[in-house]
Amino acid sequence: MPNHPSHTGLTLPHHRKAVVTGGSSGLGLAMVRRFLEAGLEVEVVSRSAPDLRHPRLSHSAVDLSDRAALQTFCEEIESLGADLWVNNAGSACIEPWQEVDLEQEEKGLRLLVTAPLAMARAFGRSFSNRKSEGVEGCLVQVSSLAVELPIPYFSTYNLAKAALSQHCTSLALENEVPFRVLDFRPGDFNTPFIRHANVRQEALPKGYLERLEVHHRKAPDPDKAALALVRALQRRKGGIVRTGTWAQRGLYPLGQRLLPNCCLYRMIRRYYGLGRP
């Protein structure tokens, strides 16, 4: 199926159909809009449908944190015929590490780690069967700049995103991976992410949640992240792609590599309005 023309000239001629998990809001919805503009067919996988109508857009209602629903969906992945897979669905619990509820943590890890890994395997098996068609594939694991700069009181989220990033590294080191792998690391963007998180505000330091919300309100529009992803896909890039403010995508990761841990931790705590521990 040929690509449809893009109004911005940003086409993705190496891809035909994208699947975006968590594509009903935030970064995921911005990616969906950009992929449609680039001429792709798009399948959104999420619990609720996006508030968007387009002849090349379809929706699969799946709760990826549910083990049975995830298994059933993985068995159907080959029938979707996708050549671009974006694991974007996510959530967060914002609370002190020692007060995290075990059941809630396990559910979060199923969504953030188990589901992306299971879908990547199913996508890989289905795509291996299509290599003879000359189709080029790409797996995008949406991790986070929290891999390099962890967010205080997001212990499960930080752990999960680091695991997803290491999964990308593992695939890069193995033979017979049938597609390119992109570790996409967004920083802060103006999305409903904080509003949708499970928050125990009474257990957090005073003013911390408000500081988080201010950072997100002042952050770039999520379309900036989606545009960065499309441009990386245009260049057929693999490996790590960072996006966010210039400081988040350049200065802070450089500091993570060069600064002693004590200085790095002080910098992170100051960014979030926290004093010395």
Q: What is the pLDDT of residues 235-251, one digit of tens each?
A: 999 999 999 988 888 88
What burial class does residue 211 get, using C-beta atoms within 10 Å of its C-beta: 0-12 exposed, 13-18 middle, 19+ buried?
Answer: middle
State pLDDT tens for residues 41-69.
999 999 999 999 999 999 999 999 999 99
- pLDDT > 50? residue 273: yes
100-119 average pLDDT score: 95
pTM recorded for the entire structure = 0.92
d(CA 184, CA 21) in angstroms, rounded, equals 14
Percent of the chain with pLDDT over 90: 79
Three-state DSSP at 53 gives coil
Residue 146 has pLDDT above 90, yes or no: yes
* pLDDT for position 4: 44
**Dist. CA 208–CA 153, nearest whole Å:** 10
127 falls in which pLDDT band (50, 70, 90)?
A: confident
d(CA 70, CA 121): 12
pLDDT category of residue 166 using cuts at 50, 70 and 90: very high
Per-residue confidence (pLDDT) for residue 131, from 0 to 100: 65
Choose among 230, 184, 154, 225: nearest CA to 87.
Answer: 184
Considering 62-76, 90-104, 115-129, the range whose residues carry the highest mean pLDDT is 62-76
Q: Taking the alpha carbons of 254, 255, 259, 265 in that order, is the dihedral positive or negative?
A: negative
Burial status of residue 51 (CB atoms within 10 A of its CB: 0-12, 13-18, 19 or more): exposed
Helix (H) or strand (E) holding 78: helix 77-80
Main-chain phi, psi angles of 111, to 5 degrees: -70, -40
